[in-house]
Structure 1
Amino acid sequence: MTLPLRDKFALITGASHGIGKATALALADAGANIAFTYRGSEFEAREVSRQIEAVGRKVFMMHAELMDIDDCKATAIEAIKTFGQIDVLVNNAGGGQYSAGPLAELSLDSWERGLNLNLRAPFITSQLIAQNMVERGQGGSIINISSIHSRSVWFDSAAYGVAKAGLNRLTKSMAVEWAAHGIRANAVAPGYINTSETPEERARYDAGDNLAAPLIAMQRTALPSEIASLCVFLASDAASYITGQTIFADGGVLLPPVTVAHDMRAVAKRS
């Protein structure tokens, strides 16, 4: 079987857990060698490394705090230095936990932390990786992990939503300015994801995000692997004519709701 990413080199930020972990493993299964960052558990990161090595790929893991400019730069520089090239970049690290709160009470520090992690970090990392791609002249694929928060509005998540909306727009600029060099840039905007791996995480998930399932057209939340498979597609030549897009992988949660009255009228017409 031909692997779509055989002998490619990928960098994924925030890959010790959740979508990042699933993406790192999926890219490795597709043939790519993997560099990745982690912020939290070294144990979890080493387990990801073990699984990547188990399928015969090279792996390089780095601890990084991507809200820090120097760490952002070091992440890209070390990945390029280790592998000599990066063909696929997945800017996955992010989250709203550092900037949550009512907008009227949100501190400037919280606002900046939200934007630094979710928007500035992908910009810095992408810029350095793109420079390497341009120098090599072989193109590449950049994938930014956005969110449904970039389109819809939730309470207490202004900074996160603004950052993700900005990331969608940044993706378009990347696509326009780097297309001549064979670099494609796209964003993936997931909806509600079940990232729980432990009983404690499962309990938090059931008490929180899982309550959204009835509001989703597909009546369920997603698995990280379902987002990872989309990233593999966008990284591969199968998506060679796709750039500048934000793809909402949300199970239909952002579809306009149909009112009960409208639904009843549709039933009446059919009968």
Structure 2
Amino acid sequence: MITLTLNNGVELPALGFGVFQTPPEETIQAVQTALETGYRHIDTAAAYGNEREVGEGIRRSGIPRDDVFIETKVWVSDYGQDETLHAFDKAVGKLGVEQLDLLILHQPATDRFEKTIAAYKSLGTLYADGKVRAIGVSNFMPDHLERLLGEASVVPAVNQIELHPYFTQPEVREADAAHGILDQAWSPIGGITFYPGFGDERRSVMDDPTLQEIAAAHGKSAAQVMLRWHLQEGRSAIPKSTNPGRISENFDVFDFELSAEELARIDGLNTGVRNGPDPDVPRPERFDMVIPDA
């Protein structure tokens, strides 16, 4: 496993296991399988509705708590000073742990950014109190970061963003690097089924001829090549699956290396087109989601 050192000195296993859109009834086994495969970083979120099952999967794996890096996210309906502090209580209660390794804001909530700032300041309070080992954000564009950093006392350790060969977000990565913020890729292999309705003309990254050619040269799959690309360029990546074979395949990326030329060819695939929603587009309906206490 490759580990990355965050801007506060905390070490994060670069390759994580995601459970976005994984039904609760499938989450326990998926997490247990991932940990038995070798993953030591699990990424979930309040909005996924499966934090409780993530915690149960970790316990059933028999892997000591201190050996598993747990990351979760606060949903926008829990933004605000007191609301976000309570969101932490809800998360650790469901996960069955006392401390989180990484807690991040799920969206910038541009239409109510004052609540976003209040929420992040509460993450800072949790960090100062030792309740979380690191804090961060997700889907923050450069202007969102600048607004946040103008009022925050703690620089985010991580910015989790849509990032795959067809959408590399160079401007966001440049802004993150300027502040020592780690890029973490959701949809790291360009999954096109994640967000129905967002870009119906999307092409599957998996079928790209360049990736297929590079994969064949290494005796690997296109998915494995993409994950290796992320790791070699210094990012964290969060693939997801409930299929034991794919869970294992996605972890089998530490026994080969892409050349500088191959990395450059993959970098050149960027289309600038998102597969998921644009963080700058207000979606007030997000605030209607109620995250239950238990």
| TM bracket, shorter-chain basis | 0.3 to 0.5
Q: Look at both structures and tell me which one has the larger radius of gyration over its CA atoms.
A: 1
The normalised TM-score by structure 2 is 0.36
Higher RCO structure, 1 or 2 (CA under 8 Å, sep 6+): 2
- Whose helix proportion is higher, 1 or 2? 1
